[in-house]
Amino acid sequence: MSTQHKNLSDFSGTKIPSAAPYNFGIVVSEWNTEITNALYQGAYQNLVNNGALPENIFTYTVPGSFELTSGADLLLKNSKLDAVICLGCVIQGETRHFDFICNAVANGLSNVAIKYSKPVIFGVLTTNNQQQAIDRSGGKHGNKGDEAAVTAIKMANLVETLNS
């Protein structure tokens, strides 16, 4: 699918439940802060715009994307959250480090979600270059933080529905 002219964060055709009843954790990588701060602003604002109470949104930072897994695990171990949003950015370099980090984070976050039976949202950009990251953190392709927030709301609502 080509994303050349598409805003990936357009939710006009989808129903988003109210975020009001839920508690959210957001774990943000400090690496590539220009990008991750933009992702965080998108996620936080989207949660609030969909009814989440600011006092029910708990934000923590970790050094890099690799540490998002540990951050999510610690949050779910020590709090009553309905979903955790993990935000990071890994940009391709000259070595295979990119592949190792991306795979470890994706697998790690999946494992944390399974361990706690809670939604752990992968809001990590894995781009070829800085411009692609900018385009997906509030640029021409939308904001992956917005998408992560909507996913967290929908998944928290799904858990509530299934537990009812």
Q: Where are the alpha helices (DSSP H) in 50-143?
A: 68-78, 97-116, 130-135
Q: Which of 6, 97, 115, 140 is catalytic?
A: 97
Q: What is the pTM of this model?
A: 0.93
Buried b / exposed e over 87-98, threshold 16 CB at 10 Å, is bbbbbeeeeeeb
**How far is the C-alpha of 125 from the C-alpha of 81, rounded, in Å?**
23
Tell me if 123 sits within 8 A of 87, measured CB to CB.
Answer: yes
* Residues 52-106: tens digit of each pLDDT: 999 999 999 999 999 999 999 999 998 899 999 999 999 998 888 888 999 999 9
Give the pLDDT of residue 1: 41
Q: Which CATH number fits domain 46-152: 3.40.50.960, 3.90.78.10, 3.40.50.720, 1.10.10.10?
A: 3.40.50.960
Are β-strands 137-139 and 142-143 bridged in parallel, bridged antiparallel, or unpaired?
antiparallel
Q: For this structure, is 141 an active site residue?
A: no
